Amino acid sequence: MNADDLITALRPHFPNAEIQAVNNGNKFEVLIVDDSFDGKRLVQRQQAVYAIANPFIQSGAIHALSIHALTPSEYAERK
């Protein structure tokens, strides 16, 4: 599994999101900027991503996953 594979897995669940991913072996970092995170706590956002990534984690394709799940306004503030 590589970063593009992770993006491909996430895309159907976040069709309008900006998604970026990088990996170093089986350790991944993902940034998802999506309106669907508006009003959700950080843990709820992470749970939404983990629900999709969990099969890859269980199989060992992903060993570690760092998630940055932001709304568009939060992302704009960080820039």
Res 7 pLDDT > 90: yes
- Confidence class for position 79, pLDDT limits 50, 70, 90: confident
- Return the structure tokens found at 39: 């009003």
pLDDT digits (tens, 9 = 90+) for 56-71: 999 999 999 999 999 9
Listing from the earlier edge strand, what are the strands of the sheet with 18-24?
18-24, 27-33, 64-70
H helix intervals, 24-79: 42-59, 72-78
Structure tokens at 15: 């069709």
What is the topology classification, in CATH, of domain 3-78? Answer: GMP Synthetase; Chain A, domain 3 (3.30.300)
The pTM is what?
Answer: 0.94
